[in-house]
């Protein structure tokens, strides 16, 4: 739970930025909205609870709570009576602007009671959840997933991939596939003792078999790794790959067909992963990039991103959903990876970089031994970083509850034509991050706060402040309200200005431009020109020094940097 000091710091951050935070929601007084906010804080997906501040209005003006003692009693009564589990709140009066506000420190909903919900509505219609910095009613499918995840976490039920599959005997597990797996793991990890156990013990250790009524049966995990044809027993395990002609699923090709290729992959999971990745690399385009004086062809999408997306799809899908399959759709401008089953709590589309949950523990463990993935989670943050380094937009993700879709677009954000398009904004003295936001909206319909964070690597407060500044300049239009807001390019754009210099395509180039123009650059120049935090300025200068683009001179407060010459 949060402390009084943390509550005060987060409140000040919200008042300064004039926006709610993931951990903090502000309410004017007592009412249904306060009940929803406390419920949502208890259901926060990171499991840390949250803070609800009473006495701050919708415009983030401090209005106070009046008689603190009376308000505390009213809130305590609500917290103990209206929910399926009593909320033991911490109530901290805080003085701001000469008025008293009440910071309610809400504990996380305890295991066995998730999701926290209003008794009068029940779990499927009365559970509220905090998503990013907004509160909304939890969908029925989300509530059911919360209940199921709670049961697994408490050990009330076993994960599906570890349950015995009673329709098959352990003789369907192929000895050669087992031996190949052990051999590959030993080669990757020479110190591993995976080869010290006999066949039966190995299969038990990796949860490839499970006991039921005194007899051993293969588990879904065992079938997926050590059965030649797992689709005979689990028909939903197939992966479908579609190579489409046009930008829409129904776009016809020259011969009237809907797709260039329609392939199906099944078999042991490691083989499926490798075959699907190979099929993608065969069909995506390549780009020529200059590496020194040599031109090299690179895939249109980073190879790591393709592999990670495929691995995550097969590792984290819901295998209990029969009649469904993973589908990978390759369009001319994007790839969509769709897997059955939504994100498992506490993971959401907003916290996917930082929160991790494993639906299929045995499958993830087996893949981890082969170095296909790390056991800790999706690796989504690595996908974002690889795309950013390749000059591509962060992936778009959608969780419908029934399925999860990750979309990667091929547009290079700072392509020459985009840099030319950005010249119309030259008179606004925009930072590289601000220009990147506009470039993103040139090829995407909308920009959320979370998209900006993933696009630039900035924190959420900087994202809010930057997007507000661009809105104040009439360069963006905001749609929606507060936590649900997103941004679009306005109907009227600035009058294009032609014949201007090329704009720097990155923060690094902006720093180098200062150094070349002035003969030197200091940290203060970077902070003021790029409008970035001091730590970011220090990191940029250090990166340019390591690359040989800048040479440090002087020491401590007198340090400056001159343009370097690469060897």
* Residue, of 392 and 416, whose pLDDT is higher: 392
Backbone angles phi, psi at 234, to 5 degrees: -125, 80
Q: Where are the domains of the chain?
A: 4-153, 160-232, 235-409, 416-488, 507-563
> What's the CATH architecture for 235-409?
2-Layer Sandwich (3.30)
Q: Residue 168 pLDDT more than 90?
A: yes
Q: What is the mean pLDDT of residues 156-160?
A: 76
Average confidence (pLDDT) over 82-98: 95
Q: Is pLDDT of 482 > 70? A: no
Whether residue 346 is preceded by a cis peptide bond, meaning omega within 30 degrees of 0, is: yes
Instruction: For domain 4-153, give its CATH number from 3.40.50.300, 3.30.70.1450, 3.30.950.30, 3.40.50.970.
Output: 3.30.950.30
For residues 11 and 54, is the Cβ–Cβ distance under 8 A?
no
pLDDT at residue 257 in the model: 84
Mean pLDDT, residues 501-508 = 58
**pLDDT category of residue 87 using cuts at 50, 70 and 90:** very high
Structure confidence at residue 308 (pLDDT): 94
Residues in the chain: 567
Closest Cα to residue 127, out of 118, 135, 37? 118
Determine the Cα angle at 85 with ends 80 and 87, to 5°. 50
Longest dimension (CA), the chain: 81
Residue 456 contacts residue 384 (beta carbons within 8 Å): no
Q: Classify domain 416-488 by CATH number.
A: 1.10.10.10
Does residue 567 surpass a pLDDT of 70?
no
What whole-number distance in Å separates Cα of residue 335 and Cα of residue 131? 26
- Higher-confidence position of 290 and 423: 423
Find the mean pLDDT for residues 271-290: 84
The model's confidence at residue 103, banded by pLDDT at 50, 70 and 90, is very high
**CB-CB contact of 84 with 116 (8 Å):** yes
The overall average pLDDT reported for the chain is 87
What pLDDT is attached to residue 520? Answer: 87
Q: Do 416-488 and 507-563 share a fold? A: yes
Residue 566, pLDDT > 60, answer no
Q: What is the mean pLDDT of residues 76-99?
A: 95
Q: Summarize the confidence of residues 279-292 as an average pLDDT.
A: 72
* ω into 115 cis (within 30 of 0): yes
Q: What is the pLDDT of residues 186-203, one digit of tens each?
A: 999 999 999 898 999 999
Q: Residue 368 pLDDT > 60, yes or no?
A: yes
Confidence of residue 377 (pLDDT cuts 50, 70, 90): low
% of residues, the chain, pLDDT over 70 = 92
Q: For 316, how many CA atoms within 13 A lie in the half-sphere containing its CB?
A: 29
DSSP state, residue 56: B
DSSP state of 333: S
**C-alpha gyration radius of the chain:** 27
The angle, 0 to 180 degrees and rounded to 10, between the axes of the packed helices 380-389 and 303-316 is 160
Give the DSSP H/E element, type plus range, for residue 508: helix 507-518
Question: With helix as H, strand as E and coil as C, how does 268-286 read?
Answer: CHHHHHHHHHHHHHHHCCE
- Judged against a pLDDT cut of 90, whether residue 158 lies above it is answered with no
Provide the pLDDT for residue 376: 55
> Is 90 exceeded by the pLDDT of residue 229?
yes
| Position 425 confidence tier, pLDDT thresholds 50, 70, 90 | confident
Give the strand pairing for 477-479 and 90-96. unpaired
Distance CA 365, CA 370 (A): 9
Q: How far is CA 102 from CA 56, 73, 105, 483, in A?
A: 9, 12, 9, 22
CATH class of 507-563: mainly alpha
Backbone angles phi, psi at 392, to 5 degrees: -105, 160
Per-residue pLDDT of 7-51, as tens digits, reads 999 999 899 888 888 899 999 999 999 999 999 999 987 778 999
Q: Flag whether pLDDT at 502 surpasses 50.
A: no
């Amino acid at each position: 739970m949060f402390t009084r000091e943390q509550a005060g710091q987060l409140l000040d951050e919200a008042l300064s930025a004039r926006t709610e935070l993931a951990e903090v929601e502000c309410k004017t007084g007592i009412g249904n909205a306060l009940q929803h906010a406390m419920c949502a804080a208890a259901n926060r997906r990171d499991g840390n609870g949250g803070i609800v501040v009473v006495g701050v209005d919708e415009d983030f003006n401090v209005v106070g709570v009046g008689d603190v003692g009376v308000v505390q009693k009213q809130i305590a009564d609500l917290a103990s009576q209206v929910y399926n589990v009593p909320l033991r709140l911490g109530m901290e009066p805080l003085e701001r602007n000469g008025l008293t506000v009440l910071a309610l420190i809400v504990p996380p909903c305890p295991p066995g009671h998730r999701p926290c919900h209003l008794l009068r509505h029940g779990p499927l219609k009365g559970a509220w959840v905090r998503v990013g910095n907004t509160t909304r009613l939890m969908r029925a499918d989300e509530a059911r997933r919360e209940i199921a995840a709670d049961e697994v976490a408490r050990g009330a039920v076993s994960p599906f991939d570890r349950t015995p599959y009673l329709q098959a005997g352990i003789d369907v597990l192929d000895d050669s596939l087992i031996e190949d797996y052990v051999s590959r793991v030993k080669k990757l990890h020479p110190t591993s003792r995976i080869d010290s156990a006999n066949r039966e013990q190995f299969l038990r250790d990796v949860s490839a078999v499970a006991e039921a009524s005194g007899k051993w049966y293969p588990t879904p995990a065992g079938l997926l790794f050590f059965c030649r044809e797992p689709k005979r027993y689990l028909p939903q395990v197939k992966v479908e790959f579609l190579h489409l002609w046009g930008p829409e699923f129904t776009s016809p090709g020259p011969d009237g067909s809907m797709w260039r290729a329609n392939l199906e992959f099944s078999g042991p999971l490691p083989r499926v992963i490798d075959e699907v990745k190979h099929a993608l690399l065969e069909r995506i385009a390549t780009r020529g990039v200059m590496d020194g004086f040599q031109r090299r062809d690179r895939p249109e999408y980073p190879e790591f991103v393709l592999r990670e997306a495929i691995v995550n799809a097969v590792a984290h899908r819901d295998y209990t959903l029969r009649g469904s399959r993973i589908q990978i759709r390759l369009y001319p401008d994007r790839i969509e990876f769709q897997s059955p089953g939504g994100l498992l709590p506490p993971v959401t589309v907003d916290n996917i970089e930082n929160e991790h949950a494993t639906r299929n523990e045995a499958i993830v463990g087996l893949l981890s031994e082969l170095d296909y993935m790390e056991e800790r989670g999706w690796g989504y943050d690595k996908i974002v970083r690889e795309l950013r380094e390749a000059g591509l937009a962060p992936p778009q993700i959608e969780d419908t509850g029934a399925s999860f879709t990750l979309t990667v677009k091929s547009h290079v954000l700072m392509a020459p034509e985009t840099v030319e398009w950005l010249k119309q904004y030259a008179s606004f003295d925009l930072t590289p991050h601000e220009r990147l936001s506009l470039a993103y909206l040139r090829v995407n319909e909308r920009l959320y706060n979370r998209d900006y964070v993933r696009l630039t690597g900035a924190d959420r407060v900087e994202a809010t402040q930057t997007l507000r500044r661009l809105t104040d300049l009439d360069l963006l239009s905001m749609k929606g309200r507060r936590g649900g807001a997103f941004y679009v390019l306005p109907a009227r754009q600035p009058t294009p200005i032609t014949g201007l210099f090329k704009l720097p395509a990155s923060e690094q180039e902006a720093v180098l431009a200062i150094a070349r123009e002035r003969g030197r650059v200091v940290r203060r120049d970077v902070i003021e020109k790029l409008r970035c935090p001091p730590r970011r300025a220090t990191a940029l200068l250090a990166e340019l020094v390591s690359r040989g683009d800048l040479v440090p001179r002087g020491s401590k407060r007198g340090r400056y940097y001159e343009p370097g010459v690469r060897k």
